[in-house]
């Protein structure tokens, strides 16, 4: 199976520079940049650990560093997302603090204080930058509505608004990151591999109607999907590398018709990234209309 669009680039140089990219370039909600923010504090503290280990100041520091290093290597060659790295963050914090406490020379002790000050400044600057970007003050003080704020923060929120009006009895989420905090309707969603069921149904189906019947069997009447990478042969997770290119292209065509069919129903909507469509082998039925699907 091909890698999902947005995963961390597996180029060798990125493995070598991972500690720096992780500390200085990581971004939230960007899977290519580790899907989170760690900050520079641990990168700044790393030399202190190295110095303490070389001097053999405290065996516990070396043990903590070894455990963290082994875990980091396993993480590096698996799913490189910060949330899976968090279990070793407390170990590194303890190791850095212990290393700083074991610095007998005045010059090294001064370096420890400078490192702590630099990490604090960078951490505060990062927090302030993200606070300014999110800009929650207006909505908290009543100067902006909740819906307007969420629409500004979440590009898929307008689709949630359509679903929450009662449009759907039950919705099937595909590649929507299982972000259901603001979804008020029942839903079906895969965890972690967010298009696993869709891919399974697609390869079990002989044609489009067969796929729609399988979707109806889930008890859903709407499908909300992020599709911007699903139809790119080189990036999609729907491609089966064990099958021929012709077979894969046939399945991708069925998937595209399922998620982007042009029924022009009033209660369907799509753009370059998301689509909200009916699960109905008969088309729009009584709900057909001019619609605004492909604006």
- How confident is the model over 165-171, as a mean pLDDT? 81
Is 162 in the same domain as 281? yes
Kind and range of the H or E run holding 223: strand 222-226
The least confident of 98-112, 192-206, 250-264 is 98-112
* 107, 134, 161 - which closes a domain: 134
Is 214 in the same domain as 256? yes
* 108, 134, 160 - which closes a domain: 134
Is 279 in the same domain as 206? yes
Report yes or no on whether pTM surpasses 0.75. no
Residue-number span of the structural domain to which 237 is assigned:
150-287
Number of CB atoms found within 10 A of residue 164's CB? 16
The answer as to whether 142 is a domain residue is no
Residue 185 Cα to chain centre, angstroms? 22
Alpha-carbon distance of 49 to 56, in angstroms, equals 10
Per-residue pLDDT at 289 exceeds 60: no
Q: Do the beta carbons of residue 221 and residue 278 sit within 8 Å?
A: yes
The answer as to whether 176 is a domain residue is yes
Is 48 in the same domain as 160? no
Is 126 in the same domain as 72? yes
Residue 21's SS3 state is helix
The answer as to whether 293 is a domain residue is no
Is 35 in the same domain as 162? no
Is 111 in the same domain as 154? no
Is 238 in the same domain as 159? yes
The answer as to whether 269 is a domain residue is yes
Number of C-alpha atoms within 13 angstroms, CB side, residue 170? 10
Is 81 in the same domain as 37? yes
Q: What is the pLDDT of residue 224?
A: 93
Contacts of 294 (CB under 8 A, 6+ apart): 262, 270, 271
The per-residue pLDDT for range 5-46, each reduced to its tens digit, is: 456 767 788 888 888 888 888 887 777 788 888 878 888 888
The answer as to whether 143 is a domain residue is no
Is 112 in the same domain as 174? no
Nearest Cα neighbor of 279 from 164, 179, 168, 161 is 168
Q: Do the beta carbons of residue 185 and residue 177 sit within 8 Å?
A: no
Q: What is the pLDDT of residue 294?
A: 31
Q: What is the pLDDT of residue 107?
A: 59
* 106, 134, 162 - which closes a domain: 134
Kind and range of the H or E run holding 209: helix 208-217
Ramachandran area for residue 56 (φ above 0: left; ψ -120 to 50: alpha; else beta): left
- Could you tell me how many residues make up the chain? 295
Is 180 in the same domain as 214? yes
Give me the sheet containing 187-189, strands edge to edge: 187-189, 171-174, 222-226, 274-278, 269-270
The per-residue pLDDT for range 222-279, each reduced to its tens digit, is: 999 999 888 888 888 899 989 999 999 999 999 999 998 765 566 788 888 999 988 8
The answer as to whether 295 is a domain residue is no
| Count: domains in the chain | 2
The answer as to whether 186 is a domain residue is yes
The answer as to whether 2 is a domain residue is no
Is 127 in the same domain as 162? no
């Amino acid at each position: 199976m091909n890698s999902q669009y947005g995963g961390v680039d597996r180029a060798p140089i990125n493995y070598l520079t991972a500690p720096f990219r992780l500390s200085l370039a990581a971004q939230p909600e960007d899977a290519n940049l580790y899907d989170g923010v760690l900050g520079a504090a641990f990168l700044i503290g790393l030399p202190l650990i190295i110095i303490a280990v070389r001097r053999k100041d405290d065996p516990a520091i070396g043990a903590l560093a070894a455990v963290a290093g082994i875990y980091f290597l396993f993480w590096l060659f698996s799913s490189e997302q910060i949330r899976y790295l968090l279990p070793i963050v407390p170990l590194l914090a303890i190791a850095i603090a212990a290393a700083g406490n074991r610095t007998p020379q005045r010059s090294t002790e001064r370096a420890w204080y400078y490192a702590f000050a630099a990490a604090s400044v960078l951490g505060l600057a990062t927090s302030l930058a993200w606070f300014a970007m999110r800009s929650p003050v207006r909505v908290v003080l009543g100067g902006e509505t909740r819906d307007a704020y969420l629409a500004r923060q979440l590009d898929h929120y307008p689709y949630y608004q359509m679903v929450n009006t009662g449009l759907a009895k039950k919705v099937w989420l595909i590649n929507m990151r299982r972000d259901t905090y603001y979804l008020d309707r029942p839903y079906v969603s895969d965890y972690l591999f967010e298009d696993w069921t869709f891919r399974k149904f697609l390869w079990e189906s002989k044609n489009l109607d067969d796929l729609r019947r399988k979707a109806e069997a889930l008890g859903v009447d709407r499908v909300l999907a992020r599709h911007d990478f699903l139809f790119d042969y080189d990036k999609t997770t729907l491609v089966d590398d064990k099958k021929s290119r012709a077979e894969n292209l046939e399945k991708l065509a069925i998937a595209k018709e399922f998620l982007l069919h042009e029924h022009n129903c009033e209660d369907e909507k799509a753009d370059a990234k998301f689509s909200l469509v009916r699960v109905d082998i008969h088309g729009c039925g009584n709900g057909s209309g001019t619609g605004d699907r492909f604006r």
